[in-house]
Amino acid sequence: MSSTPVIKCESVYKIFGANAGKMLQESNGNVDAKTFQESGCIVGVNNASFEVSEGEMLVVMGLSGSGKSTLLRCISKLTDATSGKIFIEGQDLSALKNKELIELRRNKMGMVFQSFALLPHKTVLENIAFPLQIKGINAKDCISKAMDMVKLVGLDGRENYFPRELSGGQQQRVGIARSLAVEPDIWFLDEPFSALDPLIRKEMQDEFLRLQGVLKKTIMFITHDFDEALKLADRIAIMKDGIIEQLDVPANIVLNPATEYVRKFTQEVPREKVLKIKSVMDPEDSSLELSELNVSKDAIIEEVAEKILSQDKPVPVIDSNKKTVGIVKPSKIIHTVFGARKEDS
Amino acid sequence: MEILKKYPKSIQWLFLLIVFFTLCNTIDIPEGYKFIRAQAEHIKDPNQVAYSFLGVEVRYYPYDTLWRLPPFIAWLPIWLNDSMDFLLNDWIPIEIYDAEIQEYETRPLILQITRIISASILFLIQAFREILIGGVETVVAFTSWDWIDANPWAELPGLPWTIVAAAAIILGYKLNGKGLAIFSAITMIYISVFGQWEPSMQTLSFVMVAAPISFLLGMVLGIWAYRRKRVEAILNPILNVMQTMPHYAYLVPIMVLFGIGDHAGAIATIIFATPPMVRLTLLGLRKVSPEVIEAGKMSGCNDFQLLFKVLIPTARRDILIGVNQVIMQCLAMAVIASFIGAKGLGWNLLLALNQLRIGLALEAGVCISLIAVLLDKMSLAWANKQTDYFANLTFFQRNKFGLFFVGSVILGLILAYVGSIMFKQGFNYFYEVPHNKGISTEAFWNAGVDWVWDTFFHSLKIFNTWLIVEVLQPMRAIYLRMPIVATFVLVMGAGYIIGGIRSALVVGGFTLFIALSPWWDRALVTAYMATFGVIVSVIIGTIVGSLCAQHNYSTKIIIAICDILQTFPSFVYLIPVMMLFGVTDTSVLIAVIIYATIPATRYTVEGLRSVPSALHDAGSMSGVTRLQRLFKIEYPLAFPHIMLGINQTVVFALFMVIIGAMIGTEDLGQYILKALSDAKGGGKGLILGLCVAFIGLAVDNLIRTWAEKRKKHLGIA
């Protein structure tokens, strides 16, 4: 199972326009957005290839119009890709019949939308139960399952409210609960927190991390907020004009931006606030004498910097099982926080 | 030159008006022109010219083509009529087995189809009717007359009014609680006590058949148009014409195709009530946000589930407005359909109006309005109902409404039985209060009318005479004085200035159709009445609307008033004005003004209210006074919306002018009414209806184009 990636894209293109297919064929995979635009086509996704493995959270980040939502819709097959292959758990999406696609969505996929997309005529509970009802589960089971979901997202007591009676954050909780109701393996989130106020957004991000900690889904998360991407992602894909500019773990994106475009995002980012110890740690070296302190590999640098810098010796890094997995030298911290930024600017 | 650059449009308008008035003044009225004679009548007159086309001979008075165009499409109504006749009576004869005479006979295909439609609709209406007020024909439909003769017990007895009333009250309570229950009670008791039970139930049975059919048909067409662009492209112009055709115009062709009776009335009603349903379904579906559709798809909906569980419920608001429109149209048509034999309140109202028994007409009118409002509220409440999943109910709680109903049936039957003993002589009031045997306030109203006449006769008469002599007659004369060239220059010029060459051609095309028909002069009279009505309505509507939009409270009140007034069938408006002004043009015009002021007011209020509050604040911070704010900020921004209101006002006014033919006008409406009693009037009715529709559509095109441009200009498109 672990060998097959849950989501796999092979040079996926999505081009909008009347004769997009023909033009794409003629271009031999070398798509130039400008020439396409001149002939009335708009390039949504340009040669996207990547894999997402089980339990991984891939955050696709890009500004509006960069094609990130289009990419997500190709993978969820809400639109058909113009060319390229998409595999969900090894199944070719384009080969699926309509019925199989519906089955796939009913059992394997959940999606959260930017504008919540709740059904205005249904209560919180009915909205959450909706995918279950669609599946044809009997009313009683639907309701009890939906009630569990209501509790999971902390909306108990409001299950009989209508969406219009809820705040934005609460509405999105409903959206999240609905997408999770069928216990999907793959979870798509299309800018789920973009329409929320900053404070609520932070609260929801923490909530989301808590949920993911429990659920461990395979996730594709779309955002236009680089900080959000850094905070949540296992890996980040940065998109511009339909092209994936860089796909890497957050630390690498911050430390080694692949293109000028990516660098622009990263240069203002305070490293110590986003990088985790694990991204700057060195491998264990038995010859070195270690400090008595230790730090978690998932700690943010800022939180433990003072502790580490107060030591002369390297500090051991431990994982959640208290096992030492590496070391971090105080000099490395200083270099990460101050040195790298100097190079950038 | 400077001015020309600064105000190019104003200069164009000025130039257009100059050309128009010059044309009007230079072209004299030709000798021998008389208003009444201006159309092709079928009287032989040596002064007439004749031509023949498609076997139809047309005679007309030739005038200078600059003055009036010859009626080159005068053959069309007659030809249409002949074609319809041919289709109905001679086209594709098929063999049909007739059960009654137990023989095969030949019958043309179309006739057979229309008969099947007629029979099935009639059966439905009758079934409803006989449940409500009793009868035998439903039973006969399943058995035979002989069987009924042998078994007289088999007749459907009809429900006592107490049971129907109780059912309505329980339903009202179940749907929306106390308020609606009380309203149901008032309606039902009013109907019964005033002796309108039988006609009301006839009307109700008619609406119960027509409204659901319109609703379904409209939904299906709307969904179809939503899914296929091409269907929408085809439906759109058809709907446009159908929605601007006056109600009367449908009656004649339907009479020809389906005969006379309740079913014909129901079919006319269905045709009239379906277009708004289609429109609103389509509008509602289009408004569903793409993300909601995607959410539905991601939940694993198949097409069917997506449509019925996501799209339609989400579009519910607009679809409900559609339902409201359907019910409104059904009850408005209930009166008009009585022209072709629909029984019920409409028929009574018409009869009372004809006999000038205002009080009686008023009672029937109130009945229709009450039923309209009740059905509207019930359908709304039904659609808004929600289920409670957690209630742990006992058997009694779950079935209490059913139990109450059973109880009321038993009680009603007992009451009816007691009644049959109590009221030994005469009528059983607990079973049904017979027509004209209830309380009647007619005497009161008649006395009221007499009093009004006695007291205000002088002032009313002076006003009436003044209006007719000083305003209406001159205005009419001016309209008739327009040479046809001048009219074309005016409308096409306006079209060109507003929407470029395309608009000019569209509007010109509509006008040309009317100009080539034999009824140009009549159309001018219709146009003059509608113009007068629209001008006054718009003035009243915008002033009232602007005043009411200033405060939240008054806004709510005025919108509520508009809602209620819109639910009244159009015919009802004729009653009070006839009380005051008798049978004159003034009555019609005042009815037009009252009726057409509703949309003008509503759209003004809505338009002014939709101005974003940020702009109010911006205005306040720039130190505008209230008046400045209204004129510099609110009016310019609300103008496109107000213009759409004016558009509606025009359509409403046209409808009312045509309905006004009932109390005598000299315009197109009169001819449509005449066509009703003409055996060969089908084609005429249609073409006359088209003429009215085209007046409406021409104005609609101009206003809509202008409003769209304005919206784009303001960036609120």
**Which pLDDT value is given to residue B150?**
73
A279 shares its domain with A239: no
A33 shares its domain with A108: yes
**Which pLDDT value is given to residue B427?**
66
Of the residues A268, A285, A316, which one is the last residue of a structural domain?
A: A268
In a domain, A308, yes or no: yes
**Which pLDDT value is given to residue A325?**
82
Confirm whether pTM is higher than 0.90: no
Residues A288-304, mean pLDDT to the nearest whole number: 81
Query: Which of B488, B531, B476 is closest to B19 using CA atoms?
Result: B488
Residues A124-134, mean pLDDT to the nearest whole number: 90
Using a CB–CB cut-off of 8 Å, the residues of B that contact A are: 289, 291-292, 294-295, 297-302, 305, 309-310, 313-314, 316, 386, 388-389
In whole angstroms, what separates CA B226 from the centre of its chain?
A: 25
**Which pLDDT value is given to residue B318?**
82
Residues B9-15, mean pLDDT to the nearest whole number: 86
- The least confident of A90-94, A318-322, B250-254, B385-389 is B385-389
Q: How far is A264 from chain B (nearest CA, A)?
A: 31
The SS3 call for residue A322 is coil
**Tokens matching residue A278:** 């694990």
* Whether pLDDT at A293 is above 70: yes
- Cα–Cα distance between B282 and B321 in angstroms, integer? 12
- Residues of chain B contacting A76 with CB distance shorter than 8 Å: 298
Q: What residue has token string 């106390």?
A: B178
* Whether pLDDT at B42 is above 60: no
Residues B486-493, mean pLDDT to the nearest whole number: 91
A140 shares its domain with A251: yes
More confident residue, B42 or B165: B165
A288–chain B Cβ distance below 8 A for any pair: no
Interhelix angle B197-227/B345-354, rounded to 10 degrees, is: 120
In a domain, A326, yes or no: yes
Of A98, A111, A143, the CB nearest to B298: A111
**Which pLDDT value is given to residue B40?**
44
A316 shares its domain with A254: no
* Whether pLDDT at A344 is above 60: no
- Cα–Cα distance between B56 and B77 in angstroms, integer? 10
Q: What is the DSSP letter of B632?
A: I
Q: What are phi and psi of B57, to 5 degrees?
A: -95, 130
- Bridge pairing between strands A91-92 and A186-190: unpaired
Query: Which of A286, A322, A315 is closest to A301 using CA atoms?
Result: A315
A193 shares its domain with A335: no
**Tokens matching residue B156:** 């459907």
A295 shares its domain with A159: no
The residue segments making up the domain with residue A213 are 7-268
Whether B300 sits inside 8 A of A111 (CB atoms) is no
* Whether pLDDT at A1 is above 50: no
A158–chain B Cβ distance below 8 A for any pair: no
**Which pLDDT value is given to residue B285?**
92
**Which pLDDT value is given to residue B633?**
82
For residue B524, what are the CA distances in angstroms to A165, B68, B77, B481?
54, 12, 20, 10
Confidence of residue A116 (pLDDT cuts 50, 70, 90): confident
Angle value at C-alpha A147, between A142 and A152, nearest 5 degrees: 125
Q: How far is A266 from chain B (nearest CA, A)?
A: 31
Confidence of residue B492 (pLDDT cuts 50, 70, 90): very high
More confident residue, A78 or B583: A78
- Residues of chain A contacting B289 with CB distance shorter than 8 Å: 115, 117
Give B227-286 as a 3 state SS string: HCHHHHHHHHHHHHHHHHCCHHHHHHHHHHHHCCCHHHHHHHHHHHHHHHHHHHHHHHHH
- Residues of chain A contacting B294 with CB distance shorter than 8 Å: 73, 78, 111, 113, 117
**Which pLDDT value is given to residue B391?**
57
A152 shares its domain with A225: yes
At A232-285, the pLDDT tens digits run 888 999 998 888 999 988 888 888 888 988 888 888 777 777 777 877 788 887
**Which pLDDT value is given to residue B425?**
63
Q: Where are the domains of chain B?
A: 520-714
A308 shares its domain with A191: no
Q: What is the CATH number of the domain that holds A208?
A: 3.40.50.300
Residues B450-464, mean pLDDT to the nearest whole number: 81
Its CATH class, for the domain covering B520-714, is: mainly alpha
Of A103, A113, A131, the CB nearest to B291: A113
In whole angstroms, what separates CA B55 from the centre of its chain?
A: 36
Of the residues A217, A245, A268, which one is the last residue of a structural domain?
A: A268
In a domain, A232, yes or no: yes
Q: How far is B296 from chain A (nearest CA, A)?
A: 8
Confidence of residue B38 (pLDDT cuts 50, 70, 90): very low
More confident residue, B247 or B478: B478
Q: Which of B297, B299, B308, B384 would you mutate first to test chain A, the one with the most A CBs within 10 A?
A: B299
Residues B224-230, mean pLDDT to the nearest whole number: 92
Q: How far is B223 from chain A (nearest CA, A)?
A: 19
In a domain, A137, yes or no: yes
Confidence of residue B49 (pLDDT cuts 50, 70, 90): confident
* Whether pLDDT at A213 is above 70: yes
In chain B, the residue whose alpha carbon lies closest to the alpha carbon of A103 is: B300
Residues A29-52, mean pLDDT to the nearest whole number: 83
More confident residue, B405 or A148: A148
Q: What is the DSSP letter of B37?
A: G
Confidence of residue B575 (pLDDT cuts 50, 70, 90): confident
The percent of residues above 90 in pLDDT, for chain B, comes to: 14
A263 shares its domain with A278: no
* Whether pLDDT at B662 is above 70: yes
Query: Beta partners for B135?
Result: B156
Number of domains in chain A: 2
Of B292, B305, B386, the CB nearest to A119: B292
In this predicted complex, what is the ipTM? 0.81
At B277-316, the pLDDT tens digits run 998 899 889 988 899 999 998 888 888 889 988 898 888 8
Residues B342-356, mean pLDDT to the nearest whole number: 83
> If residue A237 lies in a helix (H) or strand (E), which one and from where to where?
strand A235-240
A191 shares its domain with A74: yes
Residues B576-585, mean pLDDT to the nearest whole number: 76
More confident residue, A318 or B413: A318
Q: Which of A97, A98, A104, A113 would you mutate first to test chain B, the one with the most B CBs within 10 A?
A: A113
Confidence of residue B35 (pLDDT cuts 50, 70, 90): low
* Whether pLDDT at B473 is above 60: yes
Q: What is the DSSP letter of A80?
A: -
More confident residue, A271 or B266: B266
Report CA Rg, chain B. 28
Residues B332-336, mean pLDDT to the nearest whole number: 81
A291 shares its domain with A254: no
* Whether pLDDT at A342 is above 50: no
In a domain, A250, yes or no: yes
**Which pLDDT value is given to residue A336?**
77
A142–chain B Cβ distance below 8 A for any pair: no
Whether B299 sits inside 8 A of A134 (CB atoms) is yes
Of A120, A125, A179, the CB nearest to B314: A120
In chain B, the residue whose alpha carbon lies closest to the alpha carbon of A132 is: B299
A261 shares its domain with A317: no
Residues B372-399 as b or e (16 or more Cβ within 10 Å = b) = bbbbbbbbbbeeeeeeebeeeeeeeeee
**Which pLDDT value is given to residue B511?**
93
At B496-533, the pLDDT tens digits run 998 889 999 999 999 999 998 888 888 888 899 899 99
Whether A105 sits inside 8 A of B313 (CB atoms) is no
In a domain, A2, yes or no: no
More confident residue, B154 or A16: A16
At B590-634, the pLDDT tens digits run 889 999 999 999 899 988 888 888 888 888 888 788 888 888 888
Of the residues A219, A234, A268, which one is the last residue of a structural domain?
A: A268
Confidence of residue A59 (pLDDT cuts 50, 70, 90): very high
Whether A113 sits inside 8 A of B295 (CB atoms) is yes
In a domain, A156, yes or no: yes
**Tokens matching residue A83:** 């060319």
**Which pLDDT value is given to residue B37?**
44
Residues A218-231 as b or e (16 or more Cβ within 10 Å = b) = bbbbbbbbbbbbbb
**Which pLDDT value is given to residue B39?**
46
Query: Which of B526, B523, B544 is closest to B594 using CA atoms?
Result: B544
| Contact (Cβ atoms closer than 8 angstroms) between residue B79 and residue B54 | yes
* Whether pLDDT at B463 is above 90: no
Q: How far is A199 from chain B (nearest CA, A)?
A: 24
